[in-house]
Structure 1
Amino acid sequence: MTTVIEVEGLTKRYRDTVAADDVTFSIEENTIYGLLGRNGAGKTTVMSILTAQNFATSGTVRVFGEDPYENAPVLGRMCFVRESQKYPEDATARHALAMARLFFPHWNQELADRLVADFQLPMRKGIKKLSRGQRSAVGVIIGLASRAEITFFDEPYLGLDAVARQIFYDRLLEDYTEHPRTILLSSHLIDEVANLIERVLVIDRGRIIMDDETDAVRGRAATIIGDAAAVDAFVAGREVLHRETLGRVASVTVLGALTTDDRRRLADDGLEVAPVSLQQLIVRLTQHAAEDAASDTEGALR
């Protein structure tokens, strides 16, 4: 596959805060990526730099093999939609879509009209007077109808209710199937987007801690449940991401795929195995990383 974005050693500092810390990854064409992580992890910072709306402190970014900063041909091939999107003071939804139609060469008006109807968007109402959900719909419509070669969705759909978010997911997948392009979805609603994304990028405290195909990630961890002593014996020597105990029953999430012998031993010991969803895995990984960082800091202060 063709690489459309290359990031090498990307670092962004704001005084004493490191928003992106030596980030390196690449993005392939015609793939849906999930850029996942907690609030403040660095997702928006990375997307802003990739779309030349922010500057890196150090490192390199190449989009279609070029530096995107002040590069109109490259920027015209990308669409960046974010929750805090700004519009002119007196703009209506109709104005916003008309401007987008002029900017994006692959704009599809038929798709835009269909999405306006799907989201029941009042086109003549000022954007400032729209509800949060309606403002989110404006961004989602632009992002999908642009059919840009690379589209970034930085959580613009969080203002949508559950029904509207499902419409967004359905339309995205439907149009992507017919018109493949590269899409980066930033989201906290990991389980909702898990079936959409083909590759996972997890960023935590400014660092990439996971970069893998979604299918490969699903079996990366398991939760072992049962008698606490038997559970502890089984997980000994394994990397434990999370542990809960209630009386004599323990539930322990461990990192690493289970082998056939592992599952045979678990059955012999009367222990249960529960799958770990993508959201659970990412939550456990980021919690685990935070606990390790806290332990390192505490040790350094002693």
Structure 2
Amino acid sequence: MGDFYVCSCFYTHNFYIKELGLHAIYISNEQFLNQYSKVLKQHGYSTAERTQSILSQLENELQRRENLGPAFLHRKAVIREKYKMLHPEIFQLKTEFLQPEFLNLVNYCKESDATVDGVMLYLEETQGYIYITFFSFGPLYIFMLFGIYGHFLFLQLSMDEIGFNDFITTLRVEYMQHIARLLFPECGGGNLDSHKAFIVKYKVGEDLDLGYHYDNAEVTLNVSLTDSYQGGSLYFGDMRTVPLPDTECSEYNHVYGVGVLHRGQHMHGALPIYSGLRYNLITWMRSSKIRNQLCPMCNNKPDLVKTVGYGDGFTSDVQQTADVQQTADVCSLT
């Protein structure tokens, strides 16, 4: 793996404030209070005492982002040293973990004459920009995964940190990339060279839902790992550049073990659950050929800052060819 980078906007943009339903730019307290004074007043944050809680959140999030690299390496080292993993056999992806329908789809996509129309014959459902595949882990694999991940749920670790980098890399390169090459060519689907994978948890009394947003990814895979909950459907609008008032949302109910594959720039959210627990494995797959041209978070040519691991999927190869530039424009701006 070569060097990967983040864009400098990682330290200034997209600071999510749940109370305000806002993804904000944060450079300093003064800048934030000036830029978002109207929003703050609309939500009743009209005094210094009221706004201090918001400012503390922003300061803590900036510190977290600045320490992300060293903290990532430290956690990986601690886990490697102190934990003996259950089910070591599941850290490498094997075909027996995957459903036959999904393997048939991937094998078709590898054929030289495969077409989008042919891919559609293997899909369970399509809704606009959404592609819902037959992808599935078997129940035994999911059971073993929770046997491992259960030790670390309270730490909110990424899959890479607990040893699944090779697993997710194999999933991305040998399986998902063949599908994405046909479905999402304008988003670099055939050149997905990095990823970020993590498990999200929704529970009554804790996180119930997720607001309308887009992902820091070219292609997203969202696999349902549980069926012991009610509510929590996904809803999808349009691509992120389409104004919200002009968007009609469609709803998708998760199916245990099934993966939803969609463009990262496709606006979506999760409705509240009202009973049980919901877990989903999220894999953000990234194409440096796309994002090297235009950062999807600040809409500028990326200002690179070196980091550890895959960072945000940028590389130092920022050669701009007409071919790649056109591809970047289509994915990012439609």
Report the TM-score range of the alignment, normalised by the length of the smaller protein.
under 0.3
| Larger relative contact order, structure 1 or 2 (CA cutoff 8 Å, min sep 6) | 2
Normalized per residue, the structure richer in strand is 1
TM-score with structure 2 length normalisation? 0.22
TM-score with structure 1 length normalisation? 0.23
